[in-house]
Amino acid sequence: MLQKAYNWYSKESVKKAIIEVANNREVVSVYKDVTFGKRPDMLQYPADILQAVSEGTIAFHGSIEQWSNPMKLEVGMAKEQLDNIRTGWSVFFDPDVKDFEIAKIVTKTVVEALKDYGVRNYSLKFSGGKGFHIGIPFEALPETINYQPMQKLYPDLQEKITIFIKWYMKDMLKDELIALDSPENLAGRIGKTLNEIIKDDEIDPFKIVNMDIFKSRHLFRLPYSLHESSLLVSLPMKPEDIDKFEKEQALPEKVKVEEKFLIPKAKGDAQFLVVEALDWASKHMIEERGELLKIRQFKRVKLIPEMYFPPCIKRILEGMADGKKRSLFILINFLRNMGWDAENIEKRIFEWNEKNYPPLRANYLRSQLRWHFRQADRILAPPNCENENFYKSMDVYDLCSELHTQGIKNPISYPIRKIAKVDKLKLKKK
């Protein structure tokens, strides 16, 4: 085993690929008896890899987080102390399931969910064991959220993104699993009884698949590391290769170092995902609580027609070439706040989508509508007008420049004020 590991890690391409990802991460050795080496530890140079292997290391696990100096890490550090030395972190998904075909389906569903939110800068690799890892590099995240530097938002934001993606993909994953096999056979594949995967008279995909919430200093197997038990390579790969991938392709003698993992290709393309995850996790609807009260009282009376909508919303309803998914998020929440019911919203959204170039996938529209309508106990507001990630970057902000001078902070405020003005004029005429 040790000789096989030494032969693998002696390859220059392997050492280079591991060091590239290990940079500024805590890296811990794992031995053949699956025990872990001392913490903290790190890899700085290619020679460090062979030195560790000569001391019995089979696998290398690295931290999701990146640090100014990993060797300053200590057990029991307070969050503030960790925040002060954390320089970045990767969004990471590690679906855990015993069946390899199910693992492929889950991985593809996570990837589709990320793509639905505009994320292209993601990485994928075979774990070397039972499944796959999906990661988004730190550079794909926005630099700040609510004036807080992104590096200080771990693990809270990682948790929100994970829970949001699970919620978003739940129905899609359930449909894919049912298409793969019967509920009885799905349970058998993972060593459970049928009752153990059923909730509310239907299968619960997350009783079949586990997707953990990670805390600080969580480790993952580095790309091109061997797996400490199987001795297969933790192999980066392209998403389109998942279906045809077989574990034998990760045998060290068959692997070529080609694909990369968690190496940034572009900046900021996970921004929309972050914004949506935070909006989803939010427990309050809008900042303008006084306006919210008016909306709730008004929408019990009647639906607000489009003639009262602000210019930015009217422009979006004409169809979009860019920013369609952000537009969908805006429109659904705006229309719900305007007193529109589910049937009218769905009809209007599909009419709007026909004007988009190109249109969004119908399945994507339905999944978004379904998710929002399930939030019967609370209605999210559309993002505020000043939100850099929405109206301004979508080139519709300036259409409402006159309204901003009047103190309008959210699109839902405009129809209410306009209707109030009309009602006031009617009273005067009487």
CB within 8 Å of 247: residues ≥ 6 apart: 100, 126, 230, 232
C-alpha distance across the termini of the chain, in Å: 93
Place of tokens 């390859």: 11
Which pTM was predicted?
A: 0.73
d(Cα 199, Cα 207) in Å, to the nearest integer? 9
Q: What is the largest CA-CA distance in the chain?
A: 95
Residue 203 confidence (pLDDT) above 70: yes
Query: Within a 10 A sphere around the Cβ of 281, how many other Cβ atoms?
Result: 15
Amino acid identity, position 72: K
d(Cα 48, Cα 147) in Å, to the nearest integer? 39
DSSP state for residue 271 in the 8-state scheme: H
pLDDT in tens, 90-146: 999 999 999 999 999 999 999 999 988 889 899 999 999 999 999 999 999 999 988
pLDDT in tens, 330-343: 999 999 999 999 99
Spatial CA neighbour of 24 closest among 58, 73, 59:
73
124 pairs with which residues across the strands?
134
pLDDT in tens, 43-95: 999 999 999 999 999 999 999 999 999 999 999 899 999 999 999 999 999 99
Please report the domains of the chain, with CATH numbers, ordered by start residue.
2-254 (3.90.920.10), 285-429 (no CATH)
CA-based torsion, 395, 399, 404, 408: positive or negative:
negative
The answer to whether 367 and 164 are in contact (CB under 8 A) is no
